[in-house]
Structures are given as C-alpha cells and as structure tokens.
Structure 1
Amino acid sequence: MQRYITFLDESAGVELTLPVTPAGYEWPHEAVIQQVTVDQMGDLNFFGGRRMGSTTLRDCILPAQAYPFLSPGAGTDPWVYLEQLERWIDGGTVVRWLVSGTPVNTAVLLEGVSYREQDGTNDLYADITLRQYQAPETPVLPVQMQADAQPVRDSATGTSTEKRHTVSAGETLWGISRAFYGDGALAWRLAAANGIANANLIRVGQVITIPPLDQLPAEPEHPASARISDATTARYDADARRWAMQLKKEEAYYE
C-alpha cells in the first residue's frame, strides 16, 4: 500500500504532501523513567510521564522532473517545497504530521531541514527533523489585590499567595525550603503541605507547591525511617577505604 506523508498547517489551511514518500520513517513511543536513590533502599524507578517524540525523515526527494513514481498532484519545482518547509521552521509554526493508512497524526514543530543536490538531475534531497509539540498548560494562581490594584507579595516566598516548583535532579526539600524560605529546617512543614510523608523522599519531575510561610502547616511527626536516618552517623575508614554507618545507641530504639 502506497503511503503518503503530509504536513498540514491547520491555522492557514496549507497542506504539503511530500512528492516522493521516503524509503522509511520511524516514530518513537517512550516514557520518561526517573531514577531516585533512596537511603537503605537503593535505586527506585518512577514513571515521569510520556516523552515527546522526534524523528528525522531522511533522503526526501524534492523532484525537478516529472517522474512516474511521484505522489498524485506533485509539482516539479523543488524550491517551492523547500520554501514552504523553511517558512514553517522560521515561524515556529505548529503543523500536523500525517502518514496515510497509519495512526500517525500528531502535532509537530519542524526543527530543521538540510538539503543537497547529488546526482546532476537538479533534484533536491532533504532531511527533515520533526519534534512533537504539546501546548503548555499555564497554571492560574490566585492573587490578592490591594486598593491600588498591586498584587500582595509574600516576603518569604516572593510570590503571590503560593508558587509551584518542579524538582530537578539533585534537589532536596531541605534545599528547596532554604531557597524559598531561607530556612532548610522548614522542609518537613513543606512536605506536610504537599502530602509528602517523608521529606527525604522526593523525585525528579515532582511538582512542589510553595505556600506562603504563614500558611505552612505545623511540623508533623517524622516517620520511623526518617528518625532512624537522622540518628545514623557515618564515618569514612581510610584504611579499609569504605564508609561505616552506625545507629546512635541512645536513639536506636523507636516505638
């Protein structure tokens, strides 16, 4: 079955079908897996959402001659095809990429196109790189307004009423609390505000709500695993070239 590869600019009603279907194409379907190292448990893997797809359509022929294998209605001016692709690239235009007879129908941005002449026919051979597009969701945060219509800012968080922070690799709640409140010891209260049972366990990509300081809940009782971690001392044995960990005797028993 003959496949046709089409780009469709829905907003402008412009459609471009490649005049010659490439010999092959690929489109990945992948998930983002975040790995977190947890004390006494080792490495844990967490689902972090779906990864956006990307691909490069290689050796796409933009013909200068009327070959019998061209797609129906195809033109023979390769520069017309190239100009349209470049307009979409330069304008950051979101287009739909469709492959006939398949489920491939997705919004993409054209990242780039490289082209060349290689056989003396004046045909262009183009490599077209695509990246899947998803419209960003912008959260709407409530803002308290004074009589002069200026937003009321919380001095501790530096934001209106509350803020959201996405955890990056290597971050801890202690560091996030210190960055927003100037006090890392507020990590457990921040954990409670986000329904996190153990302030030591957060993962990359997790979204943390940062409320104003006066809206932080009281510090909860630490779970046993955290209390044991707090009561554990570590020292490096240079002769044995290894770390030794020991639970403090006076805090070794927990209800």
Structure 2
Amino acid sequence: MIRYITFLEEAAGRELVLPVTPAGYEWAHEAAIETVRVDQLGDLNFFGGRRMGSTTLRDCILPAHAYPFLTPGAGTDPWAYLEQLERWADAGTVLRWMVSGTPVNAAVLLEGVTYREQDGTNDLYADITIRQYRRPETPVLPAQGSASDVLSRDSSTGTATGKTYQVQAGDTMWAIARRYYGNGSLCWRLAAANDVPNADLIYPGQVFTIPPLDQLPGAEALPSSAQVARDTAYVDGAWVDKGAAG
C-alpha cells in the first residue's frame, strides 16, 4: 500500500501532500523518565510525563518533472512546494502531520527545511524537520489586578487560580479532578462548579474552570446518586449506611 504524507493547515483548509513519498519515516512515542540520586538508596527513576515527538523526513523529492511515480495530483514546481513549507515554518503555523493508512496524525510545527539540488534534473531534495505541538492550557485572566495574579496558587493543592482545562478525547471528570487536586472523588464538586449535571458525561472540547480547592462547591452540591455513593459502603454482602457501618 502506497503511503501518502500530508501536512494540513486546518484553520485555512490548506493541504500539502508530498509529491513523492520518502523512502522511510519514524515517529517516537516516549516517556520522560527522570533519574534522581537519593542518599543510601542510589538512583531512582520517576515518570516525568510524555515527551513530544520529533523527526526529520529526509530526501523528500520536490520534482521539476512529471515522473510516473508522483502522487496523484502532484505539481512539478519544486519551488512552490518549498515556498509553502517555508511560509509555515516562518509563521510557526500549527499543522496536522498525517501518514495515510497508519495512526500517525499529530499536531506539529515545522522546525526547518534544508534543501539541495544534486543530480542536474532541477529537482529539489528536502529534509523537513518537524516537532510535535501541544497547546498550552490557557489561564483565565482576572478582571482586575496584575498579570502576576494569574500565577498565584492555592497553598493546599498548588492549583493555579483561574485556570481552565479543555477536555481531550478519553478524559474523565474523575481523572481531571485527580490531576489538579490529587483526589478523583472531587469530580462531582468540580462538575458542580462548571454547571455540569452529570460528571460521567463530558465531551472533548468542553472548557472547564479549575478553581482552588477552597472555592469548590460544597458536598451538598453533589447529585443524589453521588451523595448515596459517598454515604454508603458494601459490608458483608450488603450496602449499608457508612454511619451505621462504623
């Protein structure tokens, strides 16, 4: 199966399919492992989040002639291809990098393009370096006060005041609460803070406010199902009131 490598500028609906698929590509999925040396214990490894992917597509042919092996619809002006790649690189445009028939579909930035002529055909050979892009979470600016107010943090949780989070595919409210407060069971109170009627039903693209812990709605704001779950326990094969069980 022939692979097609595509760069897509979603905002403008502009697409560039490489006219000749490179001989190969690679894309790394890696975790950041941090090693800390502890006295009397030696080296300890800790998970430090996910690394951003990066790669260089080498020897990409930008053709000056209508070769039979070009991708369908490919042009024969190598400088037009090069100009578009350089425009994206200079503007810091976020692109989707996709490889047909594979799961590769990542938001990327073009770090640079190195090109050359090498065989007298007027074809260009380009090395295209790309780095994965992750959109930073956008803080909500306070109505009054200096920009430094955005960086103030709750002393008990470290949560930035006025922070927001955009839901990604696969997210749950439990996981979001655990991420920001260290306690997934606060999901119901976080849902109440954002007027979400059902903490088990959230969608990609929703934007939630992440208030400091002491500004979350109280437990009385929990839906009845969550209050029942909080106040009952499974003991000796039956559900009982936690107060009675204690």
Scaled by the length of structure 1, the TM-score of the pair is 0.57
1:9-24 map, 5 Å: 9-24=9-24
**Residue of structure 2 equivalent to 1:87:** 87
- Residues 162 and 124 (structure 1 numbering): CA distance in 2 closer, same or farther, change over 3 Å? closer
- Deviation (angstroms), 1:41: 1.6
- Residues 73 and 40 (structure 1 numbering): CA distance in 2 closer, same or farther, change over 3 Å? same
Larger radius of gyration: 1
- Residues 162 and 104 (structure 1 numbering): CA distance in 2 closer, same or farther, change over 3 Å? closer
**Residue of structure 1 equivalent to 2:73:** 73
**Residue of structure 2 equivalent to 1:163:** 152
In structure 1, distance between residues paired with 2:138 and 2:104: 27
**Residue of structure 1 equivalent to 2:109:** 109
Q: Which amino acid aligns with 1:42?
A: G
Q: Which amino acid aligns with 1:50?
A: R
State how many pairs are aligned. 158
Q: Describe the SS at the equivalent of 1:21.
A: coil
**Residue of structure 1 equivalent to 2:36:** 36
In structure 2, distance between residues paired with 1:2 and 1:38: 51
Q: Describe the SS at the equivalent of 1:101.
A: coil
Q: Does 1:50 align with 2:39?
A: no
**Residue of structure 1 equivalent to 2:121:** 121
- Residues 100 and 150 (structure 1 numbering): CA distance in 2 closer, same or farther, change over 3 Å? closer
- Offset from partner CA, 1:18-65 (integer Å, 9 cap, x none): 000000000001000011122222211111110000000000000000
- Deviation (angstroms), 1:140: 4.3
Runs of 4+ in structure 1 deviating by more than 2 angstroms, as ranges, are 138-141, 159-164
Q: Describe the SS at the equivalent of 2:85.
A: helix
In structure 2, distance between residues paired with 1:27 and 1:17: 18
- Offset from partner CA, 1:201-220 (integer Å, 9 cap, x none): xxxxxx9xxxxxxxxxxxxx
- Deviation (angstroms), 1:160: 3.8
- Residues 138 and 82 (structure 1 numbering): CA distance in 2 closer, same or farther, change over 3 Å? same
1:143-154 map, 5 Å: 149-150=144-145
Q: Which amino acid aligns with 1:163?
A: S
**Retained in 1: the 8 A contact 2:92–2:109?**
yes
RMSD (Å) for aligned C-alpha atoms: 2.3
**Residue of structure 1 equivalent to 2:4:** 4
In structure 2, distance between residues paired with 1:75 and 1:67: 10
- Deviation (angstroms), 1:161: 9.0
In structure 1, distance between residues paired with 2:121 and 2:30: 40
- Offset from partner CA, 1:131-167 (integer Å, 9 cap, x none): 00000113448x6x8xxx546x9xxxxx549636xxx
Q: Describe the SS at the equivalent of 1:58.
A: strand
**Residue of structure 1 equivalent to 2:162:** none
Q: Describe the SS at the equivalent of 2:69.
A: coil
Bigger proportion of residues as helix: 2
- Residues 87 and 45 (structure 1 numbering): CA distance in 2 closer, same or farther, change over 3 Å? same
- Residues 90 and 162 (structure 1 numbering): CA distance in 2 closer, same or farther, change over 3 Å? closer
Structure 1 residue runs without a partner (length 5+) = 154-158, 165-189, 196-206, 208-255
Q: Describe the SS at the equivalent of 1:89.
A: helix
Identity fraction in percent: 76
Q: Describe the SS at the equivalent of 1:83.
A: helix
Q: Does 1:62 align with 2:62?
A: yes
